[in-house]
Amino acid sequence: MCGITGFTGEVIDRDKVIKSMTDVITHRGPDSSGVFSDDYVSMGFRRLSIIDISESGDQPIYNEDKTLVLTFNGEIYNYQELRKELIEKGHVFTTKTDSEVLLHGFEEWKEELLNRLRGMFGFAIYNRKDHSLFMARDFFGIKPLHYTMVGDHFVYGSEIKSILQFPGFEKKLNMDTLNQYLSFQYAVPPQTFFEGVFCLMPAHYLWYRDGKITTTRYWEPRFEPDNSLTEEEAVDRIEKVFADSVAVHKISDVEVGCFLSSGVDSSYVSTFFPGQNTFTVGFDFGEKYNEISWAKELSEQIGVKHHAKVIPSEEFWGNIKKVQYHMDQPLADPSCIALYFVSKLASEHVKVVLSGEGADELFGGYTIYNEPRVFRLYRALLPQCVRTGLRRLVQKVPRHFRGQSFITRGEYPTNESFIGNAKMFSYEDKQRLMKEPQYATRPQERTRPYYDRVKDLDDVTRMQYLDINMWMVGDILLKADRMSMANSLELRVPFLDKEVFKVAASLPTRLRVNRHNTKYAMRKAANRRLPEAWARKKKLGFPVPTRVWLKDPKYYEIVKAAFQSETAEKFFHTEELVQYLDDHFNGLRDYSRRIWTVFVFLVWYNIYFEDGAHAEGDWPMFKPASK
């Protein structure tokens, strides 16, 4: 795993600039670095050596006549087959790396190379003859790639912090992204929190030629359910394709470990790791927030070496700033901090881990995917106006009661009610909260294009399609990449494989989500290797006790200081923020997710726009607002 960065055009102290852009992502590749420069482009690279760990795997890498230059972040799992095919076509290889396959493959097939690949990638290829730059990102967005224009310069990087090093780049907060973040809890791609900086979307390639940027989608994760498929046939196919995916994802010249929670996804992956290392973290707040005992028991049953860590509250809070620095952008998913700790634990033993990301989106694992079935009768019996009246009525009740959430969530049809696995502030909430309410928009404006692309499919499948294109990219895979790379650890996700998706996409809805369980057929396949208790276990989703901490006076005061700070006053009506905090502290409502969303943004803003030194140090870090 690696990090790449670069820019086009002449700049003063070119070598110093590309070095600073490369050095700031040293955590992505501490083993070596490399630079290519000519009069038209500078390309930087950091390497974490996994395959062909000798110096011959260092980058940049060139083709035979050195007219093409490659820097690459990722892994190509079918590189050996492609290498053989390219050698038969006359290409001459100088290394045994998967990286060089991209270079010769691009020579041979140009853009058509991408659909031949199996893996995760973000790479750049520079043509020294015509001075064009070609970039591409993998099918699901496992590996990141960002870009911008600074004057006449095209600037790119695996992480935004590289781009921030480029001279002349002016940091400006993207207020529309803040608006979207308050709804979704993440920056909705392709926009970022930095105005003018974009992420290349999954399954897209980019050309920079003659001063112009063009992007093209080369693949799309389309569901094509086969309703004739029987349960046994589906389970057989899942078992076969997933075993193959894990096998290719374990290809490495260094030891590979595995993250392990109590859930079925990572547990299923771990059954392919006899004698190797698994890693788990938890919190000391009871079983709801601690999966270590489940993971330990499973490890003993399947014969793996288990490593675990209980995260003390002080240590969690003490690393919030460091985590948000590495994230580049605020992410209000508190599990990203837990992921930082489990990555740190794993990095003490291995260089590569496998994890279970993507199973929920592909196979229908989220509990919320049950909603179309649960609300079908309610929405059929009561007209929209009655459902809206009931929702308004229950929202006036000061305390939460059983059934309140059902009435609130059941008001609108799926394409209006479901915006993804996180739904923080409503349009009306944002108008009350934001100092500049003209930026507030309805989140459905961002989700509608995705729903429209799959309007012919059932609601469950449409929800999955939305999550694959938004939630998984903006939250799940972003934190997986950043938190593992912050610890110089390569994270691989065998569920997010093209061949696995083909099988998942063919499953009829009844074999994904039904009254018995979520991920129904996948759980049946896992049960062939796992004890039934693990195969059937309800999803926890890396739970973090934020709601508990925010009722602790110590952490209440930390957050209150943030909510009453100069930073908060720039963007929000601070009395609204404090009201959320007080209501939660006093047990009137569970506002923990909303509170955490704003708090994380304020922490991040202080790091990147107020004083970068705030990435380290103790609380408090906020200046109180002037009276």
Q: Which sequence positions are flagged as catalytic?
A: 2
List 214's β-bridge partners, or say none.
207
Q: Would you state the structure tokens that stand for residue 96, as one six-digit string? A: 């045994």
Burial class of residue 286, CB neighbours in 10 A (0-12, 13-18, 19+): exposed
User: Which residues lie below 8 Å from residue 166, measured CB to CB, with a gap of 6+?
Assistant: 7, 11, 17, 21, 150, 153, 155
Question: Do 415 and 451 meet the contact criterion of CB atoms below 8 Å apart?
Answer: yes
How far is Cα 231 from Cα 340, in angstroms, rounded to an integer?
38
Write out the DSSP string of 196-219: T-EEPPTTEEEEEETTEEEEEE--
Question: Do 137 and 145 meet the contact criterion of CB atoms below 8 Å apart?
Answer: yes
CA 425 to chain centre: 21
User: Which residues lie below 8 Å from residue 241, measured CB to CB, with a gap of 6+?
Assistant: 497, 499, 500, 502, 503
Q: What is the CA radius of gyration of the chain?
A: 24
CA 622 to chain centre: 28
Helix (H) or strand (E) holding 306: strand 305-310
Task: Determine the number of helices (DSSP H) and then strands (DSSP E) in the chain.
Answer: 29, 17
Question: Do 30 and 490 meet the contact criterion of CB atoms below 8 Å apart?
Answer: no
User: Which residues lie below 8 Å from residue 47, measured CB to CB, with a gap of 6+?
Assistant: 2, 29, 31, 32, 33, 34, 57, 58, 59
The alpha carbon torsion through 525, 530, 533, 538 (nearest 10 deg) reads -50
User: Which residues lie below 8 Å from residue 132, measured CB to CB, with a gap of 6+?
Assistant: 126, 207, 208, 209
SS (H, E, C) 248-273: HHCCCCCCEEEECCCCHHHHHHHCCC
How far is the CA of 523 from the CAs of 272, 463, 511, 569, in angstroms? 16, 20, 10, 48
Residue 121: name the closest of 150, 170, 82 by CA: 82
SS3 389: helix
How far is Cα 601 from Cα 164, in angstroms, rounded to an integer?
18
Question: In this structure, which amino acid lies at residue 593?
Answer: R
How far is Cα 245 from Cα 236, in angstroms, rounded to an integer?
14
Q: Would you state the structure tokens that stand for residue 522, as one six-digit string? A: 């996948």
Burial class of residue 110, CB neighbours in 10 A (0-12, 13-18, 19+): exposed
Q: Taking every pair of C-alpha atoms in the chain, what is the biggest distance, in angstroms?
A: 75
